[in-house]
Amino acid sequence: MTARARPAIADTPIIEVKNLSKTYEGGVEALNDVSLDVPQGKLTTLLGPSGCGKTTLLKIIAGLIPSTKGEVRVSGRMVTGPGPDRAFVFQDFALMPWATVLRNVAFGLELRGVGREEREAVARRHIAEVGLAGFEHRHPHELSGGMRQRVGLARALAVDADVLLMDEPFSSVDEQTRRKFQEDMLSLLSARGKTVLFVTHSIEEAVYLSDRIVLLSRRPSRVAEVIEPDIRRGDDPEAIRRHPAYLDTVETIWQGLKRYLD
Amino acid sequence: MTEVSPSLGSRDPGASVQRLSGPRRDRAVALASHPLTLRLFTALILFSAWEYAGRVPVSAGFPGFIETMKAMAEMTADGLLVAALLITLQPLALGLAISAVIGIGLGIGMGLSRVAEWLMAPPFIVMQAAPMAALIPLLVFAYGIGLAAKVLTVCIMAMPVIVLNSYLAIRQTPASLIEMGRSFQGSKPQIILKIMLPSASPVIFAGLRLGAAAGFIGAILAELLITPTGIGDLITYNQSIAEYPKMYAAIFSVIALSVLFIEGLGKIEAAIFRREGRRA
Ligand SMILES: Nc1ncnc2c1ncn2[C@@H]1O[C@H](COP(=O)(O)OP(=O)(O)OP(=O)(O)O)[C@@H](O)[C@H]1O
Ligand SMILES: [Mg+2]
């Protein structure tokens, strides 16, 4: 794992969400007046009780679904639909079962009309980067859950977007793979200077990975709290997990979330 | 970081057996587990039962397998059978081609557009549930006893299942794949061509195979009910002069043709869409 410089987060926000509300057609009110900033080049986590609207928020930022009220800006520009500045990593991978790993990873570029040779060269590079070299011509059903999620990550990296929006990227991965994957992802993303906004259910994961944690309340959700874990990364991962600051932050968040469970 | 051993390819259960035995045993195992061997075996059982039933005999009008095959050889030799099949194939091929093109087109349209769905899904659902053969007299009334009525008979039999399968296939495209396409700024045509159609193709082809089977029934019904031509003529004529082996030979030939045709469709599908990666 590479060390990341950690000044307090005073950096410019790349994503600005202002007074966002979303009511689904059936009348389900998923978000109610959510405002948050995502700092550039950092890892921000959305954490909250199940069904509180995390996926909804992420998809609105991605431009995949419209909001009812409020606005989202990415690099100052208002979001009206999907854009090349954002790439989505799906919870269920969203890989095309009929296509090889290579084609899946190159698919974002294929849709943009990049020529075959060029996009496959780019895809091969990213496949190698997520540790799947040699699997280019396999199909998704031949891969494990963790490997499929890596394909999804490689596909998002291949389009070279500034912002990665990840919906529970580690939820279908077993514990050992998850740690390895998390560490790989951390070093990869920090090396690239990408901004990451990701959803998780795991408090430990959020504290371990993120620079900023946005706690959402129960539906219709608002921002309950914003926490910036003060943990020096770059140490040995196991040491971080035993560090008092880490354990304290986990405890604080757990106390904060507990009141939404009844 | 590799989570799967490199020997992914050798996971089939036969692999360990093969390593223990000699090359000849290998070939025997491979041959016995080959799907073609299994099918031939099934056919053998079926034909034996048929031959047995013919020898009992079940009825004076029911020839055994061997007798039927002899009649078939005879009819093939004098060219009667081939000529009849060619005549039957005309309305069949036309009807199936029309049903496939229009049926897949309509089905995809219904899958993509709410309006088209609202307009056309109900009639096709009714058509699939109703015994369409009952409409043959109506078709004759409207189009006479020529080729047109027969082609239409094939169409009304084959089209509904093709339309409904194509429609459902498009509708069942996983929502997350469509979202994925949109998230990478895929255009509507790109999403249809690169995501929805490949995702739908197995079910569309399944509909095509079912439609082809129904079309064969339609073609024979038309020849039995409208005007006796082709295979239908061979069946009715030989029945009327009590040449039962020839009658069954005609029936057998059309069933065989139908099976071969549907198998062929499967082969075409496999060639177009390499199926290996289908199931996720
Ligand atoms: N397309 C939709 N139509 C109507 N209601 C929806 C739709 N999608 C989500 N909802 C509702 O909106 C609420 C928030 O859903 P969302 O998927 O954003 O939650 P989440 O926080 O991601 O949940 P989880 O942690 O279980 O993934 C839920 O109550 C859900 O039932
Ligand atoms: Mg969710």
Average pLDDT, whole number, for chain A?
Answer: 86
The CA angle B144-B148-B149, to the nearest 5 degrees, is: 55
Report in angstroms the alpha-carbon separations of A147 from A24, A143, A144, A178, B246: 34, 6, 5, 11, 61
Residue B266: predicted pLDDT: 86
pLDDT of residue B213: 93
Question: Ligand 1, atom 1: nearest CA belongs to which residue?
Answer: A24
Q: Whose C-alpha lies nearest to ligand 1, atom 22?
A: A55
pLDDT at A227 over 70: yes
A83 touches chain B (CB under 8 A): yes
The residue-averaged pLDDT of A101-109 equals 96
Chain B environment of A64 (Cβ under 8 Å):
179, 182-183
pLDDT at B22: 55
CA distance B156 to chain A (A): 33
Using CA atoms, how far residue B84 sits from A21, A144, B220, B228, B241, in Å, is 71, 55, 12, 11, 18
Q: Chain A: nearest CA to B182, how far in angstroms?
A: 7
Q: Determine whether the interchain pair B184/A139 forms a contact, defined as Cβ–Cβ distance below 8 Å.
A: no
Which ligand 1 atom sits closest to the C-alpha of A24? 4
Number of Cβ within a 10 Å radius of residue A51: 13
CA distance A32 to A220: 5
Our answer on whether the CB atom of A26 is closer than 6 Å to any ligand 1 atom is yes
Ligand 1: residue whose CA is nearest its atom 25: A50
- Predicted confidence at residue A176, as pLDDT, reads 76
pLDDT of residue A79: 94
CA distance A22 to chain B (A): 18
Poorest-pLDDT segment among A13-27, A31-45, B23-37, B188-202? B23-37
Are the C-beta atoms of residues A18 and A70 closer than 8 Å to each other?
yes
Confidence at residue A52, expressed as pLDDT on a 0 to 100 scale: 87
Average pLDDT of span A34-51: 90
Q: What is the pLDDT of residue A175?
A: 76
The verdict on the CB of residue A59 being under 6 Å from ligand 1 is no
Tell me how far apart the alpha carbons of residues B226 and B88 are, in angstroms, rounded to a whole number.
13
A179 touches B at CB < 8 Å: no
Q: Which of A111, A151, A160 should one mutate to test binding to chain B, selecting the residue with the greatest count of B CBs within 10 A? A: A111
Q: For testing the chain A interface, which of B2, B3, B7, B205 should be mutated: the one with the most A CBs within 10 Å? A: B3
Query: What is the pLDDT at residue B3?
Result: 37
pLDDT-above-70 percentage for chain A: 93
* Nearest neighbour of A140 by CB, restricted to B1, B194, B280: B280
Please report, for chain B, how many H helices and E strands are present, in that order.
13, 0
pLDDT of A14 = 92
A157 touching B, CB under 8 A? no
Query: Is ligand 1 within 6 A of the CB of residue A121?
Result: no
Residues 201-260 of A with CB under 8 A from B: none
pLDDT of residue A192: 82
Q: In this predicted model, what pLDDT tens digit does every residue of A172-218 receive, in sequence order?
A: 777 777 777 777 777 777 788 889 999 988 888 888 888 899 988 88
Atom of ligand 1 lying closest to residue A91 CA: 27
Closest CA–CA distance from residue A164 to any residue of chain B (Å): 11
Scanning A130-149 for CB atoms below 8 A from B yields 131-132, 134, 138-144, 146-147
Q: Which residues fall within 8 angstroms of residue A49, CB to CB, at 6 or more apart? A: A216, A217, A218, A257, A260, A261
Q: How far is B137 from chain A (nearest CA, A)?
A: 45
A28 Cβ below 6 A of ligand 1:
yes
Out of A64, A107, A144, whose CB is closest to B3? Answer: A144
Q: Are B217 and B154 in contact (CB under 8 A)?
A: no
Mean pLDDT, rounded, for A87-109: 94
Please work out whether the CB of residue A217 comes within 6 Å of at least one atom of ligand 1: no
The more confident residue out of B16 and A126 is A126
**Is residue A61 within 8 Å of residue A17, measured between CB atoms?**
yes
Contacts of B8 in chain A (CB under 8 A): 138, 142
What is the mean pLDDT, run by run of 10 residues, along chain B of 280 residues? 37 40 65 79 90 84 90 91 92 96 96 92 88 85 89 94 95 95 96 95 93 93 90 92 92 92 87 55
The verdict on a CB contact (< 8 Å) between A82 and B182 is yes
Whether the per-residue pLDDT at A68 is higher than 90: the answer is yes
